[in-house]
Amino acid sequence: MAPSPEHPTPAEHPVEPSASDSAPAAPGGPDRRGRVRLRRAAVLAVPAAAVAAGLAILTAQGALGVQFAISGMPFTVTATELNGTGFAQFGALDSMAEGSPNEGDTGGQVLVVTSVIKNATLTKLCQSVDLGGTNLLITAGGGSEKVTASDLTTDSTQLSGDAAFTGMEIGNDASTLDKAGPLGRGPKGVFSQQSDTVRIADLRQTNYATTAGVFRLPGLKLRFSESGC
């Protein structure tokens, strides 16, 4: 759930392969060194807080695996404050059920940033989904008790808020993450980040999926509304 741009800007001047790149090169030769330099340049181009950087390339290479079937209908989640311990974030690819009417021109797949929090509390949680002409609205945690969740996982395409982390690690291989437990590990070769704690004020997300081991919502209210969160 850390702030992550939907599509980080690639390097402004990508290196184009020359005609000589197609010729075979000896191990350790200029061609190999050039490829290594390009990989390093790609890593350095990733903004510190941008977890989704390079995911389009990884998707094309098949490095990201499909996780589970989603409806394909995005929903909004907001909270005045989120606090969590054991945080991890990495890229993933969600897929809709075959033949879903919501797939549009996406081929039924959505590139997302998966955020995992081992234990989380949320203040004034709001969730809404646009049903076309009306919104299904859910609110909770508006009183003295906050919403609590364990093994909270969200798949997002947009996220904003004021964030703070402790024990931050950026640039990990997603398969090696360990601060959010087993659910906080992603595909091998995928850029990721993790931290001991996370705090986000004025949280706002566009999500395609949310799961939790335990989700407690005091003061839960579900209703239809003309406006969403």
pLDDT at 106: 87
pTM of the model: 0.71
How does pLDDT run across 11-46, given as a tens digit for each residue?
444 444 444 444 444 445 555 444 444 444 333 333
CA distance 166 to 48: 15
First and final C-alpha spacing in the chain? 17
Residues of the chain with pLDDT under 50: 2-27, 32-66
How does pLDDT run across 148-167, given as a tens digit for each residue?
999 999 999 999 999 999 99
